[in-house]
């Protein structure tokens, strides 16, 4: 289902984008707002980006990806930003971006209106953040006025609308420093802001006969794997060797017994890069004279040391560990292949699929659980 989007007309949006790009280039900020032969660009240091292109007539397309907002990946189920999109979009560019989870929004202009796929619950897609300075004339003037007098910014915008931008308009605005007028005027010409110039236009595209579409969001894919882990049985493998690292961990837990009786509980998850613990019946006691997180840091060191010592190149390393101590005994439970019932599942946090894949790849095939096939990224996609 599609919805209308309130955006300026394509020609006006282009003029604002080209004007801001010209100003940024004059200041040497060539990596933020820019114009090239394929249209207008915005690239942010945090990885967010947007592209805007004009086609023939009144058709145009605005697309991009925000590092925090994306209904295409975070909605359950995910929103396909290309659902209902017209055939003339630059599909050769858009479809590969969507397959790589690098396309957060696509908005197209046709028949006098801007349209996009409708998101669930009004989720933001990051477009207003990325293109914010262009959405109203006042915002554009505000962005330009950061660099110089507002009257000069107003004159620059008027000249841009008339395709009459000159070096004088830029020097009037950019009163601090020495602007790169040659580079700025080249950008203005590329953007159609000077006499005799025209904005670049792209050719209409063609919808591919088949494409891959995400059917599971990242969260849904995670939960699919975690559910299979909860249902899985442990693969039979030899018991790990006796190690000094286990003795060290047990001794530390007994010493940290919350009631000073040797009884202590440890519930932990570990893989190659992440580590977490949950509270058991008798979690290790912290001491008032210790630095904050000292107990967690020491526990991380001890558990990781044990995991390394018990690893085997054939059947791999365990993922979950439970240790229950008393003054004279210890019970240890390791889970290599399954999510144990004593590890709380909140439905949101759990092992990263990439980390699980790394662990599974290090094992011999016979010691890999059946759910390993669900780690394949293709599980989240379907042909369309």
Nearest 5 degrees, angle CA 246-CA 250-CA 252?
115
> Which residue, 213, 235, 254, sits at the end of a domain?
213
**What per-residue confidence (pLDDT) applies to 141?**
97
Residue 209 burial by CB count (10 A; 0-12/13-18/19+): exposed, middle or buried? Answer: exposed
Beta-bridge partners for 324:
265, 331
The first and second tokens of residue 383, run together, are 């042909």
Band (pLDDT 50/70/90 cuts) for residue 34 is very high
Report how far residue 9's alpha carbon sits from residue 5's, in angstroms, rounded to the nearest whole number.
Answer: 11
- Give how far Cα 55 sits from Cα of 71, 109, 141, 197, 206, Å: 26, 10, 26, 16, 13
pTM of the model: 0.78
Nearest by Cα to 240 from 306, 319, 329, 303: 306
Mean pLDDT within 113-120? 90
Is the separation of the CB atoms in 286 and 295 below 8 Å? Answer: yes
Is the separation of the CB atoms in 316 and 367 below 8 Å? Answer: yes
Would the pLDDT of 123 be above 80? no
Q: β-strand 381-383 against 320-325: which pairing, if any? A: unpaired
> Which residue, 182, 213, 244, sits at the end of a domain?
213
How far from the centroid of its chain's Cα atoms is residue 368's Cα? 29
Same domain? For 169 and 32 the reply is yes
Would the pLDDT of 314 be above 60? yes
Per-residue pLDDT tens digits for 54-100: 998 789 999 999 877 665 555 667 778 998 999 999 999 999 999 88
Count up the domains in the chain and report the number. 2
Q: Give 44-113 as a 3 state SS string.
A: CCCCCEEEEEECCCCCEEEEEECCCCCHHHHCCCCCCCCCCCCCCCCHHHHHHHHHCCCCCEEEEEECCE
Mean pLDDT within 101-108? 93
DSSP reduced 3-state for 216: coil
Same domain? For 228 and 174 the reply is no
Per-residue pLDDT tens digits for 143-177: 999 999 999 999 999 999 999 999 999 999 999 88
Same domain? For 200 and 223 the reply is no
The angle that helices 137-145 and 150-161 make with each other, rounded to 10 degrees, is: 130
The first and second tokens of residue 318, run together, are 């365990």
Same domain? For 63 and 133 the reply is yes
Same domain? For 135 and 24 the reply is yes
Mean pLDDT within 202-216? 91
> Which residue, 213, 245, 279, sits at the end of a domain?
213
Same domain? For 246 and 379 the reply is yes
Same domain? For 226 and 173 the reply is no
Higher pLDDT pick, 56 / 362: 362
Same domain? For 162 and 222 the reply is no
For residue 318, cis peptide bond before it (omega within 30 degrees of 0):
no
Question: What Rg value do the Cα atoms of the chain yield, rounded?
Answer: 29
Same domain? For 18 and 162 the reply is yes
Residues 6+ apart with CB under 8 A from 13: 7, 52, 60, 62, 134
Same domain? For 149 and 43 the reply is yes
Band (pLDDT 50/70/90 cuts) for residue 116 is very high
Same domain? For 83 and 205 the reply is yes
**What per-residue confidence (pLDDT) applies to 229?**
98
Residue 138 burial by CB count (10 A; 0-12/13-18/19+): exposed, middle or buried? Answer: exposed
**What per-residue confidence (pLDDT) applies to 384?**
53
Q: Domain range spanning residue 333?
A: 218-383
Mean pLDDT of the chain: 93
Report how far residue 277's alpha carbon sits from residue 321's, in angstroms, rounded to the nearest whole number.
Answer: 9
Mean pLDDT within 374-378? 94
The first and second tokens of residue 335, run together, are 């889970």
The angle that helices 10-26 and 150-161 make with each other, rounded to 10 degrees, is: 130
**What per-residue confidence (pLDDT) applies to 219?**
87
Would the pLDDT of 292 be above 90? no
Same domain? For 255 and 186 the reply is no
Band (pLDDT 50/70/90 cuts) for residue 108 is very high
């Amino acid at each position: 289902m599609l919805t209308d989007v309130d955006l300026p007309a394509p020609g006006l949006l282009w003029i604002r984008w080209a004007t801001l790009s010209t100003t940024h280039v004059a200041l040497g900020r060539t990596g933020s707002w820019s114009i090239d032969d394929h249209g207008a660009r915005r690239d942010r240091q945090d990885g967010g980006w947007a592209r805007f292109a004009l086609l023939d007539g009144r058709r145009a397309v605005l697309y991009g990806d925000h590092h925090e907002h994306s209904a295409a990946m975070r909605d359950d189920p995910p929103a396909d930003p290309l659902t209902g999109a017209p055939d003339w979009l630059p599909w050769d560019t858009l479809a590969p971006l969507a397959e790589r989870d690098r396309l957060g929004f696509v908005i197209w202009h046709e028949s006098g209106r801007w349209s996009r796929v409708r998101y669930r619950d009004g989720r933001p897609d990051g477009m207003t953040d990325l293109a914010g300075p262009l959405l109203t004339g006042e915002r554009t003037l505000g962005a330009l006025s950061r660099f110089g007098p507002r009257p000069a910014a107003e004159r620059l915008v008027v000249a841009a609308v008339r395709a009459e931008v000159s070096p004088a308009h830029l020097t009037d605005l950019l009163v601090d420093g020495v602007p790169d007028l040659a580079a700025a005027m080249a950008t203005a010409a590329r953007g159609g802001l000077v006499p005799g110039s025209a904005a670049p236009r792209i050719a209409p595209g063609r919808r591919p006969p088949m494409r891959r579409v995400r059917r599971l969001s990242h969260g849904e894919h995670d939960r699919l794997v975690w559910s299979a882990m909860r249902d899985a049985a442990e693969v039979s493998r030899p018991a790990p060797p006796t190690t000094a690292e286990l003795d060290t961990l047990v001794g530390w837990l007994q010493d940290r017994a919350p009631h000073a009786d040797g009884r202590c509980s440890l519930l932990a998850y570990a893989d190659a890069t992440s580590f977490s613990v949950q509270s058991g019946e008798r979690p290790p006691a912290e001491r008032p004279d210790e630095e904050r997180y000292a107990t967690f840091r020491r526990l991380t060191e001890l558990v990781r040391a044990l995991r390394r010592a018990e690893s085997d190149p054939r059947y791999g390393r365990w993922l979950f560990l439970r240790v229950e101590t008393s003054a004279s005994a210890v019970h240890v439970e390791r889970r290599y292949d399954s999510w144990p019932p004593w590890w709380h599942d909140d439905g949101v946090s759990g092992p990263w699929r990439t980390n699980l894949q790394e662990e599974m790849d290090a094992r011999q095939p016979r010691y890999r659980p059946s759910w390993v096939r669900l780690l394949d990224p293709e599980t989240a996609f379907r042909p369309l």
